[in-house]
Amino acid sequence: MNRKEIVARIKNEKIVAILRTKSQNDVPQLVKIVLETGVDVLEITSNTPGYLEEITNARALYPNKIIGVGTAINVKIAEQAIAAGAQFLVTPNTNVDVVALSHKYDVPILMGAMTPSEVCVASENGADVVKLFPAGAMGLQYFKALKAPLDHIEYFAVGGINPNNVGDWFKAGASGIGYGCVVNDAKTGKIDFEASKKLSEDFVNQAKSN
C-alpha cells in the first residue's frame, strides 16, 4: 500500500492502538491479543525495548494489519523504523524534518501538536493527520476552542482517552483517537493481558458506534 492508501485506512479505522512496554518479551503476546480484538492499526513506540525487531516481526506475522512506529521524535528513529518495516510514523512533537522524511519514503505521518502554532506548522508542512497531544490533559473545551478557527484540519486525539469519553471526542470533531493498549495490574505492576484485551475490545466497539 502507498501512503495515500494507508492514510485512508487509518482514518477509516478511527483508532490507533499504542503499544509501549518495558520488556520486549511481552510485545509479541500483546500484539497478538490487541490485533485479535479487531484493531487494524497499531504503533509500537520507540521507547519499547527491541521495537525495531518487533515492528519487523509484526509486519511478517500480520500482513493484513497496519503496523507503525510511535514516539518517532527525530529523523534517526523514523528512518530506522521505516527500514524495519514501519508503515506509518507517529510523533508526540512537531518536527518538520520528520515530516520531510516521511514524504521522501511515501510513509504517512501522524504528527504531534498542541498549540495553534504547532497545529498549523504540522498541517502546513504536510502531516497527514495532526495528533492532538496530550489531548486529555487539555480537555474537550480546549479542543473545541482550538478547532473553531482550525476546522479544516483533521485531528486524532491522543492522551487521556478512555472508552467512557471517546464518544465525546468524536462528537467534538476528532476524526480518530489513539489509546494506550497496555494495562498494568495495580498491585503487581505486571501486564494484565486479559485487561489489555478487554480495553481494546471496548475501543473497537466505540469506534464502530461513533
Topology of the domain covering 3-209: TIM Barrel (3.20.20)
The answer to whether the CB of 98 falls within 8 A of the CB of 110 is no
What's the grid cell of residue 25? Answer: 518479551
**Following DSSP, what letter does each residue of 156-188 receive, concatenated?**
EEESS--TTTHHHHHHHT-SEEEEE---B-TTT
Would you state the pLDDT for residue 179? Answer: 97
Q: Which one from 131, 171, 187, 190 is the annotated catalytic residue? A: 131
pTM: 0.96
Active site residue 43: yes
pLDDT at 92 over 90: yes
* pLDDT tens digits, 18-41: 999 999 999 999 999 999 999 999
Q: Is the dihedral of CA 72, 77, 79, 80 positive or negative?
A: negative
pLDDT at 88 over 90: yes
Would you state the pLDDT for residue 189? Answer: 82
Q: What percent of the chain has pLDDT over 90?
A: 95
pLDDT at 69 over 90: yes
Domain coordinates of the chain in residue numbers?
A: 3-209
Mean per-residue pLDDT, 67-93: 98
Would you state the pLDDT for residue 111? Answer: 98
Burial group, residue 185, by CB count within 10 angstroms (0-12, 13-18, 19+): exposed
Q: Which one from 13, 14, 43, 54 is the annotated catalytic residue? A: 43
Active site residue 131: yes
Q: Both ends of the chain: CA-CA distance in Å?
A: 26
* pLDDT tens digits, 151-190: 999 999 999 999 999 999 999 999 999 999 999 988 888 9
Would you state the pLDDT for residue 206? Answer: 92
The answer to whether the CB of 84 falls within 8 A of the CB of 60 is no
Helices (H), ranges, 15-132: 27-36, 51-61, 75-84, 96-104, 116-124
